Structure 1
Amino acid sequence: MTAEAAAPATHETAAAPPSYRVRAVGGIPEVRAGDDLARLIAAAAPDLVDGDVLLVTSKIVSKAEGRIVEAVDREAAIDAETVRVVARRGALRIVENRQGLVMAAAGVDASNTPAGTVLLLPEDPDASAEAIRSGIRAALGVEVGVLVTDTFGRPWRAGLTDVAIGAAGVRVLDDLRGGTDTYGNELNATVVASADELAGAGDLVKGKASGFPVAVVSGLAHLVVRGDNASGAGDGGDANGTGGLVGARALVRDPADDMFRLGTSEAIRTAVTQRRTVRSFTDEPVDPGAVRRAVAAAVTAPAPHHTTPWRFVLLESERSRTRLLDAMRDAWIADLRGDGKSEEFIARRVRRGQVLRDAPYLVVPCLVMDGSHTYGDARRDAAEREMFVVAMGAGVQNFLVALAGERLGSAWVSSTMFCREVVREVLDLPAHWDPMGAVAVGRAAEAPKERAGRRAEGFVEVR
């Protein structure tokens, strides 16, 4: 099977338009554990030349490397290969596997393998690609690029396509940033996944069930790097244009830059369970828009009688924060001295509020009882207020979780509840607004400590 592609000719140039050729390699026998893939490919494709790119289906790499395991239950095999669940819907799981790839079922394959067994992906696909490349060089004396490919689904796109999960001697990313387009516009974000484009081209002739596990792309020698390792260091530079990352690993997006790292329910659960109280902040300014988005999430909390009992006072200037915190400090000191506390005790209590001073942004959530009912007896009136306080807590929790979703750290401190009159006066708040603590907001200066595990069973009583 062969396919050819060529760019259309133009009137502006007399040079031949660029083109490439892709063909499947026939004659490769059933691969078994311990087989030398490079030798098998070299025997089936002795006409390989410098600059060709070999596209090798991961399934035969796994077979040669003995990655066939007994598994009566495929789900257990998927569990063993899973680092984290990205999204789940029924039995279908999109996960990050041990190779760092995000894909369905961790790449565990139960097809084209004996009953009761499954195929796992190669343990180190980049090393597998390099081994094939070195073997081809030794057998045929040619310098080729090698990609180990596997089939992926893609977000927002129907259907499957092959992508590169291992690479050796191939520029997996073509970084065009800093160049210009045909109109002279500077390219600021264009990084082409060349390895994935090659993998997709090869899949057109390999197919999913045609019995051709290897393809060759010819005519794109500029993507092949000469040298003795996957990075192409022998070519005098960073082959992948990725600051030193080598092989197909460079195609995996860094978690810090991944805007779609989790499915919806997993993102919500992660934001809730991984939210931490941050005690130290950087001086990086906080985006007011991010805080307002968090407020928008906060006011979706449930509340009694169709009321909206939340108000959020945003202290965006250093002057407003300092004025409030100074007044609160003075009020605390006066109260504690009135209680006969020692100066050492008072100093310790005041230091607890330092987290509010260190934060570049403060928010004071307030409870408003508009719409509450008055019953005329203490018991029912107290229960009415408790309902509103619970609604306020739900709003603050929404707010903190939404801040975490914005990658902002936070600390809820109850201090304003002990000097409400002072807070109302300094912030010029209505008399019926009850400050319910203060929330420090900012970028965490260090990673929070791991929280001790809490099992739900310890907090549940069943009747």
Structure 2
Amino acid sequence: MSGTTEQSPAAPEFRVWAVPGLPEVAQGDDLAKLIAGAEPGLADGDVLLVTSKIVSKAEGRLVHAADREAAIDAETVRVVARRGPLRIVQNRQGHVMAAAGVDASNTPSGTVLLLPEDPDASARAIRDGLRDALGVTVGVLVTDTFGRPWRAGLTDVAIGAAGVRVLDDLRGGTDAHGNPLSATVVATADELAAAGDLVKGKAAGLPVAVVRGLRHVVAEEDGEDGEGARAMVRDARDDMFRLGTSEAVREAVTQRRTVRSFTDEPVDPGAVRRAVAAAVTAPAPHHTTPWRFVLLESAQSRTRLLDAMREAWIADLRRDGKSEESIARRIRRGDVLRNAPYLVVPCLVMDGSHEYGDERRDGAEREMFVVAAGAGVQNFLVALAGERLGSAWVSSTMFCRDVVREVLELPEDWDPMGAVAVGHPAGLPKPRPERDAGAFVVSR
């Protein structure tokens, strides 16, 4: 019996090696020419992994800085977390990393090395230079060392890229068992950077590595440099872990803004309930719980309340002798509530309050409860900001409490404390004027 033997397809494989023989890099050096001289056997489809430090040196990013902390400040856009002298920050390139990437190691005394100004542009320049020098089309990654949340140890990642598919989006496909892939986007560039670091090492003086055998990740046409490593920086709206440690509270507070224009996107009721859970952690007198939150989740309930409040307001304004034009203008100011996709009416209850029998002490008792109610609402607004929801707290229900209680069928001892419009902001907030905290402080 005779026949042919079918051979299985070769298993995927690749090689990675460090490039020896590179000289010490100085400002003005042509990295592409140096790499071509040290590794003239580069081939189409290779991926070159270049440590950011030598790119920075060639681009003159060595700067005099007697104080490294000042240099970190200058490169920092946003502090994410801080513990003692260590700062995790977002730098000018958009990367979240320790010390903004400012490096004081292996540099002359009194100097620091900054990251490349535009790592994607640096990668493109090296790629173009290697095409001119060797006639090859390669991919180039500029790499740097990152720590990672929840994981010990450091690894290299790509901060600049040219001619490399940095992300492999598998969403819409299926796995080996036919299950749909709905959230799988592979960070190909970071995987390549980490592979290169295994052979470059951190202290071996080998700043460049080559990966061969993964030609499919390299763009082969001239001018196809790709979207660069910038595409790997997560957008703020999609970053679930944007805030750091103690900075989380400060950032959430400062991000809380009064939003008066909302999109039509529905509000997640779960997000509002999580914000209520944060609200009821506020301090209150006598171990009481003076907060109640009425959630108006249907359009019918919102319209019924707002229509009744409008009629009550119009009646009040007419009693005050206001003109119809003035009344119409004032009524339009309430559109922030009518245009919001979700309304919340916070209420104050005095359960557990003390009665002292004299006006002064009873008045102070109520003030304590009102302050506690305000603290709860502030918690609520800040938590909404943490959920990426906009809000506007307006006082309107306080002027017609009987109407609100009647329409919403609330107990007589529930005092509405305004209303909170909730929704997804229709645009970016305007810059808030800077306030000097010292202007609000008196020391004794």
TM-score, structure 2 as length reference:
0.96
1:432 alignment partner, one of 401, 413, 431? 413
1:385 alignment partner, one of 361, 366, 370? 366
Kindly report structure 1 stretches of 4+ aligned residues shifted beyond 4 Å.
none
Q: Deviations over 1:212-246 (max 9, x none)?
A: 111111111111212333x44xxxxxx5xxxxxx1
2:283 alignment partner, one of 294, 299, 302? 302
| Preserved contact between residue 236 and residue 242 of structure 2 (Cα < 8 Å) | yes
Shift of 1:352: 2.0
Q: Deviations over 1:116-169 (max 9, x none)?
A: 111111111111112112222222222221111110101111100111111112
* Partner Cα distance (1:374, 1:253) in 2: 55
Q: Deviations over 1:359-413 (max 9, x none)?
A: 1211111110010000011000000000000000001111111111111111111
Paired residue secondary structure (1:19): coil
| Preserved contact between residue 261 and residue 425 of structure 2 (Cα < 8 Å) | yes
Moved more, 453-462 or 218-227: 218-227
Match in the other structure for 2:170: 176
* Partner Cα distance (2:288, 2:193) in 1: 57
1:218 alignment partner, one of 212, 217, 241? 212
Shift of 1:343: 2.2
1:352 alignment partner, one of 321, 333, 340? 333
- Are 1:252 and 2:230 an aligned pair? no
Q: Root-mean-square deviation (CA), in Å?
A: 1.6
Paired residue secondary structure (2:327): helix
* Cα distance change of structure 1 residues 23 and 401 upon mapping to structure 2, 3 Å threshold: same
* Partner Cα distance (2:248, 2:6) in 1: 52
Q: Deviations over 1:94-116 (max 9, x none)?
A: 11111121111111101111111
- Are 1:205 and 2:199 an aligned pair? yes
Shift of 1:12: 10
* Cα distance change of structure 1 residues 260 and 129 upon mapping to structure 2, 3 Å threshold: same
* Partner Cα distance (2:292, 2:231) in 1: 46
2:434 alignment partner, one of 453, 460, 463? 453
Shift of 1:58: 0.8
| Preserved contact between residue 123 and residue 162 of structure 2 (Cα < 8 Å) | yes
Match in the other structure for 1:135: 129
Shift of 1:80: 0.9
* Partner Cα distance (1:264, 1:12) in 2: 59
Paired residue secondary structure (2:251): helix
Shift of 1:304: 0.1
Q: Deviations over 1:173-229 (max 9, x none)?
A: 122222222112222222211111111111011000011111111111111212333
| Preserved contact between residue 164 and residue 219 of structure 2 (Cα < 8 Å) | yes
* Partner Cα distance (1:148, 1:448) in 2: 35
- Are 1:318 and 2:312 an aligned pair? no
**2:352 partner letter:** G
* Cα distance change of structure 1 residues 409 and 31 upon mapping to structure 2, 3 Å threshold: same
**1:101 partner letter:** H
2:158 alignment partner, one of 155, 164, 171? 164
* Partner Cα distance (2:97, 2:173) in 1: 33
Match in the other structure for 1:3: none
| Preserved contact between residue 80 and residue 245 of structure 2 (Cα < 8 Å) | no
Shift of 1:13: 6.3
Match in the other structure for 1:7: none
* Partner Cα distance (2:43, 2:333) in 1: 71
1:394 alignment partner, one of 348, 372, 375? 375
TM-score, structure 1 as length reference:
0.92
* Partner Cα distance (1:90, 1:12) in 2: 64
Match in the other structure for 2:80: 86
| Preserved contact between residue 81 and residue 89 of structure 2 (Cα < 8 Å) | yes
